[in-house]
Chains A and B, each alone.
Chain A
Amino acid sequence: NAGVTQTPKFRVLKTGQSMTLLCAQDMNHEYMYWYRQDPGMGLRLIHYSVGEGTTAKGEVPDGYNVSRLKKQNFLLGLESAAPSQTSVYFCASRSRGYEQYFGPGTRLTVT
């Protein structure tokens, strides 16, 4: 039981490049989340999903897109990366309770 995994762990992009971050969970959780963490800002919700095939916007969705084609996977896409998207990205999942379980994070640098 690996819990929540994220790939890649690190990535450097140039401004304007695109990439996809993958989150996978093996706990059969319905809900999945993408957060970004910046110094002094805590965790901010980007997008979330309440089930396979559904997505919704969180607090800071601009510049990101997501897809949940399979229950166990939640993808976060950056179509045209900007330096302001330099951050650490965390995925989380939960079942019907409110406890969210986090992945190890992806550190993204946009130059």
Chain B
Amino acid sequence: GQQLNQSPQSMFIQEGEDVSMNCTSSSIFNTWLWYKQDPGEGPVLLIALYKAGELTSNGRLTAQFGITRKDSFLNISASIPSDVGIYFCAGQNYGGSQGNLIFGKGTKLSVKP
């Protein structure tokens, strides 16, 4: 099946640093979503993007819908220990079956106090 390439797979950073991660696809997407999963919990929706070039913020998080429609980026500014978790991108592509999402494999973020 179709896959999203999410990178990096993991990051180990110092508290206060900024974080960047991205997702790429070989096909065009019309929606990009970013989720965060805390250990032992279900994914929680952080940001939803619907237009190419769209830039949306949620507190210290900023996500962008790439202008090629084949990628998306998530940035976290001034990281704090509670940012620890796995971040997933998900996309819905044109002609996708019943509006189902395709998920990346996640970026595991560790923050050193």
A102, B98: Cβ atoms under 8 Å? Answer: no
Q: Given A42-B103, A90-B43, A105-B41, does the pair A50, B98 have CB atoms closer than 8 Å?
A: yes
Residues of A near B103 (CB, < 8 A) are 42-43
* Contact call B42/A56, Cβ cutoff below 8 A: no
- Is A41 positioned at the interface, with any CB of B under 8 Å from its CB? yes
Asked if A61 CB lies within 8 Å of chain B CBs, one says no
Asked whether, in the complex, the Cβ of B101 is within 8 Å of the Cβ of A98, the reply is yes
Taking a contact as CB atoms under 8 Å apart, the answer to whether B42 and A100 are in contact is no
Contact A31:B105 (CB < 8 A) given known A102-B42, A104-B42, A105-B42 = no
Query: B81 within 8 Å of A by Cβ?
Result: no
* A45: Cβ under 8 A from any B Cβ: yes
Chain B residues, Cβ within 8 Å of A97: 48
- Pairwise interchain contact B105-A42, C-beta atoms closer than 8 A: yes
- Residue A62, interface by CB 8 Å: no
Chain A positions 68 through 102: 1 when the CB is less than 8 Å from some CB of chain B, otherwise 0 = 00000000000000000000001000100111111
Whether A103 lies near B42 (C-beta < 8 A) is: yes
Q: Say yes or no: B42 contacts A40, CB within 8 Å.
A: no
Q: Which residues of A contact B99 (CB under 8 A)?
A: 31, 94, 98
Interface string of B87-100 (1 = CB under 8 A from A): 01010100000111
Interface residues of A in 1-40 (CB under 8 A from B): 4, 31, 33, 40
User: Which A residues lie within 8 Å of B48 (CB)?
Assistant: 97-99
Asked if B59 is at the interface (CB within 8 A of a chain A CB), the reply is: no
| Bound CA–CA A58/B101 (angstroms) | 11
Distance between Cα atoms of A58 and B100 in the complex (Å): 9
Name the CB-closest residue of B to A102: B42
Which 10 pairs, one residue from A and one from B, show the smallest C-beta to C-beta distance? A102-B42, A42-B105, A43-B103, A98-B31, A98-B92, A102-B43, A42-B103, A104-B42, A105-B42, A99-B48
